[in-house]
């Protein structure tokens, strides 16, 4: 079976569906494929947290009581120190949702976008379920579609743009030729953040959580979940699920959670590494987890991936039948500039700073909380000078010289990387020099998996 379309998107979860909807609204014919069954789309895990404001930001109808995907909304999140003190309160309305019906919501929205165009601006959106991407299709050295497979056999789809939204496996990006213009690295085991969620029933129901509490030192949290669970314990760690489980045990031995019975567990991983230096090449775009767009603090990726989709759709613009180069690397290059100049710079800085922020003792982390160093509540944000606070902490004996150095070098490198990304070149001719300098900066950053491995040795 052969088909032809403007845009072929591999992966129909949050990134693929959202980008597909935006592009169909702009008059393009879009085909999405997903290897998953229609009813299982998004079933990788169940409960997901998304800040309510993102629904308005991305134009998707907000879930509410009575909707299939809606569990509840909580309004506050606390961070607590390694010694379980100094709660830092930040208000934010966070929706607790179910992933499979949430994907249905985004799909419905995307299909409505396709139907909303008129006349020559009318696009279309088709989803091929249980259809697996096998390999890219090239014409004269340029990607022009993909070879897919479903129960009926092989499907060849030719398209003007191929979008990889296939999640952490990045099944298209990793199969491109090395010199195609987008890095082809595999997001391997040492570049992932392993999340274990324990759905629990509490012995004392009055302890049921009404908001999220996060202990950054241990990367553990206690959050609302769905009946029959009273809540969920989460842990996220680099290196492996085994290490994540051990981190949970260490946390629970130091800060005991309320007595409970474990109902079931869910596990999954998200990318934890820098994105490719360029997200675009001729007729090719990479989005979402396939592009490693996750928040280094939490491993969350849905709204952050959607931001990149929105930027990309804005840069590409309306379908223009006369513009045959609408999907050239040159035409799409400003996507890099806009993304890396904003969220991309912030996440890059956080990625390198985090290793410094956790390289300390529980007592030092507690001291940092007490003086609002790094860990701040909403009334403290942006107040005071970090360097002055750190030097004060050293003289007061709150942190050691070793920890101060780790923090300072992380913060300095983070500042440099952020500035470099904000300076992403708009002119393609300036890019090789930018990339060379970016590689030098990243070479100085610590890999969290190495730190986790060191820590694991001490646990054994
Ligand atoms: C346990 C856990 C908890 C999380 N909690 C949160 C949270 O609370 N909030 C948040 O924002 N983020 C959370 N995240 C991260 C978030 O789930 C991801 O960042 C997000 O799902 C990425 O979306 P995506 O569309 O890029 O990729 P995915 O959601 O991974 O979708 C990729 C799609 O591509 C399809 N696919 C893959 N290979 C092929 C192929 N060869 N052919 C066809 N189709 C293919 C897959 O079937 C899948 O449907 C969590 C992650 C984990 C693991």
CATH number, residue 259: 3.30.70
The pTM score is 0.95
How many Cα neighbours within 13 Å face the side chain of 279? 30
Task: Report H helices in 169-271.
Answer: 241-254
Supply the DSSP symbol for 41. Answer: T
User: Residue 285 Cα, ligand 1 centroid: separation in angstroms?
Assistant: 17
Q: For the segment 292-313, what is each residue's pLDDT rounded down to a tens digit?
A: 999 998 889 999 999 999 999 9
User: Residue 134 Cα, ligand 1 centroid: separation in angstroms?
Assistant: 19
Closest atom, ligand 1, to C-alpha of 133: 42
Asked whether residue 105 falls in the same domain as residue 130, the answer is yes
In a domain, 78, yes or no: no
Helix (H) or strand (E) run with residue 24 in it: helix 14-25
Pocket test for ligand 1, best of 302, 307, 312 (most atoms within 8 A of CB): 302
Over pLDDT 70: what percentage of the chain? 99
Find the mean pLDDT for residues 393-407.
Answer: 91
pLDDT at position 121: 78
Find the mean pLDDT for residues 384-409.
Answer: 89
pLDDT at position 407: 86
Asked whether residue 355 falls in the same domain as residue 429, the answer is yes
In a domain, 444, yes or no: yes
The residue whose CA has the least distance to atom 12 of ligand 1 is: 300
Does 162 have pLDDT greater than 80? Answer: yes
In a domain, 75, yes or no: no
- Work out the pLDDT band at 187, boundaries 50, 70, 90: very high
Asked whether residue 155 falls in the same domain as residue 294, the answer is yes
Is the C-alpha dihedral spanning 312, 314, 316, 320 positive or negative?
positive
Strand partners, 161: 7
User: Residue 289 Cα, ligand 1 centroid: separation in angstroms?
Assistant: 7
Pocket test for ligand 1, best of 8, 20, 35 (most atoms within 8 A of CB): 35
User: Residue 267 Cα, ligand 1 centroid: separation in angstroms?
Assistant: 13
Longest CA pairwise span in the chain (Å): 72
Asked whether residue 390 falls in the same domain as residue 310, the answer is no
Pocket test for ligand 1, best of 38, 77, 212, 301 (most atoms within 8 A of CB): 301
Does 404 have pLDDT greater than 80? Answer: yes
Residue listed under structure tokens 């996060």: 214
Does 358 have pLDDT greater than 80? Answer: no
User: Residue 258 Cα, ligand 1 centroid: separation in angstroms?
Assistant: 31
Asked whether residue 119 falls in the same domain as residue 200, the answer is no
Instruction: Kindly tell me the burial class for residue 169, based on how many C-beta atoms sit within 10 Å of its own C-beta (0-12, 13-18, 19 or more).
Output: middle
| CA triple 380-386-391, angle to 5 deg | 125
User: Residue 41 Cα, ligand 1 centroid: separation in angstroms?
Assistant: 10
Q: For the segment 233-267, what is each residue's pLDDT rounded down to a tens digit?
A: 999 999 999 999 999 999 999 999 999 999 999 99
Q: What is the CATH number of the domain that holds 174?
A: 3.50.50.60
Residues 6 or more apart in contact with residue 176 via CB below 8 angstroms:
136, 143, 182, 184, 281, 284
In a domain, 353, yes or no: yes
Q: For the segment 413-456, what is each residue's pLDDT rounded down to a tens digit?
A: 999 999 999 999 999 999 999 999 999 999 999 888 998 999 89
- Work out the pLDDT band at 356, boundaries 50, 70, 90: confident
pLDDT at position 384: 81
User: Residue 358 Cα, ligand 1 centroid: separation in angstroms?
Assistant: 27
Asked whether residue 140 falls in the same domain as residue 59, the answer is yes
- What is the residue-averaged pLDDT of the chain? 94
Q: For residues 158 and 176, what is the distance between their CA atoms, to the nearest angstrom?
A: 16
Asked whether residue 61 falls in the same domain as residue 204, the answer is no
Asked whether residue 245 falls in the same domain as residue 144, the answer is no
Could you give the number of structural domains in the chain?
A: 3
- CA distances in angstroms from 165 to 20, 173, 387, listed in the order given: 10, 10, 40
User: Residue 435 Cα, ligand 1 centroid: separation in angstroms?
Assistant: 28
Does 390 have pLDDT greater than 90? Answer: no
Is the C-alpha dihedral spanning 70, 167, 32, 332 positive or negative?
positive
Find the mean pLDDT for residues 149-165.
Answer: 97
Asked whether residue 423 falls in the same domain as residue 306, the answer is no
Does 283 have pLDDT greater than 70? Answer: yes
In a domain, 14, yes or no: yes
Asked whether residue 162 falls in the same domain as residue 103, the answer is yes
In a domain, 224, yes or no: yes
- CA distances in angstroms from 116 to 58, 63, 107, 125, 447, listed in the order given: 16, 21, 14, 11, 46
Comparing 7-16, 36-45, 298-307, 448-457, the range with the smallest average pLDDT is: 448-457
- Work out the pLDDT band at 460, boundaries 50, 70, 90: low
Asked whether residue 384 falls in the same domain as residue 414, the answer is yes
User: In 3D, which of 219, 246, 250 has the Cα closest to residue 354?
Assistant: 219
- On whether the CB atoms of residues 347 and 394 are closer than 8 A, the answer is no
- CA distances in angstroms from 20 to 7, 17, 25, 81, listed in the order given: 8, 5, 9, 42
Structure tokens, 43: 């079933």
Pocket test for ligand 1, best of 94, 133, 270 (most atoms within 8 A of CB): 270
The residue whose CA has the least distance to atom 51 of ligand 1 is: 270
Structure tokens, 229: 């669970």
In a domain, 77, yes or no: no
Closest atom, ligand 1, to C-alpha of 303: 11
Instruction: Provide the domain limits for residue 134.
Output: 2-45+53-68+98-187+275-326
Find the mean pLDDT for residues 70-79.
Answer: 92
Does 120 have pLDDT greater than 80? Answer: no
pLDDT at position 381: 84
Is the C-alpha dihedral spanning 334, 169, 274, 364 positive or negative?
positive
The residue whose CA has the least distance to atom 41 of ligand 1 is: 133
Asked whether residue 265 falls in the same domain as residue 194, the answer is yes
Residues with CB under 6 Å of ligand 1 are 10-16, 33-36, 41, 45, 48-50, 132-133, 165-167, 169, 171, 195, 197, 266, 268-270, 288-290, 294, 299-303, 305
Q: For residues 167 and 192, what is the distance between their CA atoms, to the nearest angstrom?
A: 12
Last-in-domain residue among 235, 251, 271: 271
pLDDT at position 385: 83
User: In 3D, which of 413, 163, 202 has the Cα closest to residue 421?
Assistant: 413
In a domain, 86, yes or no: no
């Amino acid at each position: 079976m052969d088909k032809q379309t403007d845009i072929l998107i591999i992966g129909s979860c949050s990134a693929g569906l959202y980008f597909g909807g935006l592009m169909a609204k702009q008059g393009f014919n879009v085909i999405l494929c997903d290897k998953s069954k229609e009813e299982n789309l998004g079933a990788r895990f169940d409960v997901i947290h998304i800040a309510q404001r993102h629904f308005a930001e991305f134009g998707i109808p907000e879930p509410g009581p009575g909707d299939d995907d809606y569990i509840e909304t909580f309004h506050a999140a606390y961070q607590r120190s390694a010694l379980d003190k100094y709660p830092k309160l930040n208000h934010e309305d966070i929706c607790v949702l179910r992933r499979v019906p949430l994907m249905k919501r985004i799909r419905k929205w995307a299909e409505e976008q396709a139907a909303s165009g008129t006349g020559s601006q009318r696009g279309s959106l088709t989803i091929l379920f249980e259809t697996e991407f096998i390999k890219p299709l090239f014409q004269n050295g340029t990607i022009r579609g993909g070879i897919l497979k479903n129960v009926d056999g092989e499907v060849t789809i030719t398209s003007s743009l191929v979008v990889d939204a296939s999640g952490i496996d990045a099944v298209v990006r990793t199969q491109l030729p090395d010199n195609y213009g987008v890095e082809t690295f595999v997001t391997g085991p040492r570049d992932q953040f392993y999340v274990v969620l324990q759905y629990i029933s509490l012995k004392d129901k009055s302890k049921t959580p009404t908001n999220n509490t996060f202990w950054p030192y241990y990367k553990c949290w206690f959050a609302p979940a769905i009946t029959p669970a009273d809540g969920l314990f989460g842990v996220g760690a680099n290196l492996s699920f085994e290490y994540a489980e051990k981190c949970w045990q260490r946390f629970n031995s130091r800060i005991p959670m309320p007595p409970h019975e474990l109902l079931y567990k869910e596990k999954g991983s998200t990318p934890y590494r820098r994105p490719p230096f360029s997200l675009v090449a001729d007729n090719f775009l990479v989005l979402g987890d396939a592009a490693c767009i996750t928040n280094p603090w939490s491993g969350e990726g849905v709204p952050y991936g959607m931001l990149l989709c929105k930027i990309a759709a804005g840069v590409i613009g309306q379908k223009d039948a006369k513009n045959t180069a609408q999907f050239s690397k040159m035409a799409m290059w400003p996507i890099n500039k806009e993304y890396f100049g904003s969220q991309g710079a912030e996440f890059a800085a956080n990625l390198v700073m985090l290793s410094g922020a956790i390289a300390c003792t529980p007592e030092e982390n507690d001291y940092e909380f007490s003086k609002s160093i790094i860990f701040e509540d909403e009334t403290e944000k942006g107040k005071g000078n970090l360097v002055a606070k750190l030097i004060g902490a050293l003289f007061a004996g709150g942190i050691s010289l070793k920890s101060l150095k780790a923090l300072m070098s992380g913060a300095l490198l983070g500042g440099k990387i952020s500035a470099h990304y904000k300076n992403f070149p708009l002119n393609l001719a300036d890019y090789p020099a930018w990339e060379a300098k970016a590689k030098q900066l990243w070479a100085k950053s610590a890999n969290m998996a190495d730190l986790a491995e060191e820590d694991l040795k001490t646990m054994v």
